[in-house]
Amino acid sequence: MSDFADYTLDHLDVLESEAVHVFREVIGEFDRPVLLFSGGKDSVVMLHLAVKAFAPSPVPFPVLHVDTGHNFPEVITYRDETVDRLGVRLVVANVQDWIDDGRLRERPDGTRNPLQTVPLLETIVANKFDAVFGGGRRDEEKARAKERVFSLRDGFGQWDPRRQRPELWDVYNGRHRPGEHVRVFPLSNWTELDVWRYIEREEIELPWLYYSHEREVFSRDGMWLTAGDWGGPNDSEAVVNKVVRYRTVGDMSCTGAVESTATTVADVIVEVAASRLTERGATRADDRLSEAAMEDRKREGYF
């Protein structure tokens, strides 16, 4: 142990300070930032950090939610209560609007996750957002491991791994041409466990479906999905009662619940620490499509 232990920060404090530094860089370098806020735990932690970064001023940018129309109703309630409490402006891009006016077509499998990209990009353009905060973490998936904190997107919202700028020290280069924007990932260096430990330490409230509860689910592709208007289950899929919780809360059609009795943050931390599956491997059907699934979606402009 060093002789300056009193002047050494805990790793969560280092990560927090680094994320706050990123928020403050963006407000200094961009005209119209926006934060992607779904009510999912990573976006909740991001918003919490934004509040701390600018205190006692209010958060100086709006939040944006791409609503597939298949989101969990309890998460939408949580989203609305949170933005009201913090006094931040909420912009919603409803995928349903794009389907209704024919700009997008429903997929045969009923999932709307891949349909989010177009509404996201069109809303970014329409609002002239030039920096978009996302909750992506490098530990999530292999393609994300090489993602920058400031990630340049071209006029079509596309990510080109070979055009990404080297990031040295803590100097972030947010320069972009008109029509381009920059995705910013303040949680780049956090792991799933860091996020949960921070939620515990800061006593951050989450949508309750992150904690264990009884739910009617059915099995598809080895995941427990919730029945709902989005089209599940089909006739051959039996609905059963299970004690479950969600590790991520995305579109209902492709976000699976895990069997769990973890009812508190502390329980969840024990469970995550002991888990033998990655967060996305356990709960995201969209990442299982191919070995390079995430890389392909990132190139197209996905989160």
Partner 1 sequence: MTHELLRFATAGSVDDGKSTLVGRLLHDSKSVLADQLAAIERVSNERGMESADLALLTDGLRAEREQGITIDVAYRYFSTAKRSFILADTPGHVQYTRNMVTGASTTELALILIDVRHGVVEQTRRHAAIAALLGVRHIAVVVNKMDLVDYSQEKFNEVSASFTDVASSLGLVDTTVIPVSALVGDNVVDASDTMPWYTGPTLLDYLETVPVGTDPRDEPFRLPVQYVNRPRTAKYPDFRGFSGRIASGVVRVGDDIVVSPLGSKSTVTGIEVLGTPVDEAFSPQSVTLLLADEIDMDRGDVISSTESSPLMTNEITATVCVLNEQPITAGQRVLARFGPKTIRAIVESVTDRLDLESLTHLPFNGALEVNDLGTIKLRLAGDVAVDNYADLRTTGAFILVDEQDGSTLVGGMTRC
Q: Which residues bind partner 1 (CB under 8 A)?
A: 1-5, 7-18, 20-21, 24-25, 27-28, 52-58, 138-139, 142-143, 145-146, 152, 161, 164-171, 173, 175-177, 188-189, 191, 193-194, 275-278, 281-282, 291-292, 295
Residues 280, 287: contact at Cβ < 8 Å?
yes
Q: Among 166, 141, 140, 168, which residue's Cα sits nearest to residue 151?
A: 166
Q: Which is nearer to partner 1, 54 or 208 (CB)?
A: 54
Query: Rounded to whole angstroms, how far apart are CA atoms 248 and 84?
Result: 23
Q: Which is nearer to partner 1, 54 or 211 (CB)?
A: 54
- Cα Rg, the chain, nearest whole Å: 19
Q: Which is nearer to partner 1, 22 or 75 (CB)?
A: 22
Q: Which is nearer to partner 1, 103 or 165 (CB)?
A: 165
CB of 46 to partner 1, least distance (A): 14
Q: Which is nearer to partner 1, 126 or 277 (CB)?
A: 277
CB of 62 to partner 1, least distance (A): 18
Strand partners, 239: 218
Question: Burial, 79: exposed, middle or buried (Cβ in 10 Å; 0-12, 13-18, 19+)?
Answer: buried
C-alpha 247: how far from chain center? 12
Question: Burial, 237: exposed, middle or buried (Cβ in 10 Å; 0-12, 13-18, 19+)?
Answer: middle
Q: Which is nearer to partner 1, 67 or 147 (CB)?
A: 147
Query: Rounded to whole angstroms, how far apart are CA atoms 263 and 277?
Result: 20
Residues 131, 34: contact at Cβ < 8 Å?
yes
Q: Which is nearer to partner 1, 158 or 278 (CB)?
A: 278
Q: Among 6, 40, 300, which residue's Cα sits nearest to residue 158?
A: 300
CB of 15 to partner 1, least distance (A): 7
CB of 84 to partner 1, least distance (A): 17
Query: Rounded to whole angstroms, how far apart are CA atoms 226 and 44?
Result: 23
CB of 32 to partner 1, least distance (A): 16
Q: Which is nearer to partner 1, 104 or 257 (CB)?
A: 257
CB of 177 to partner 1, least distance (A): 7
CB of 181 to partner 1, least distance (A): 12
CB of 283 to partner 1, least distance (A): 11
Cα distance from N-terminal residue to C-terminal residue, the chain: 41
> What element of type H or E holds 96?
helix 95-100
Query: Rounded to whole angstroms, how far apart are CA atoms 263 and 207?
Result: 12
Query: Rounded to whole angstroms, how far apart are CA atoms 68 and 74?
Result: 14
> What element of type H or E holds 217?
strand 213-220
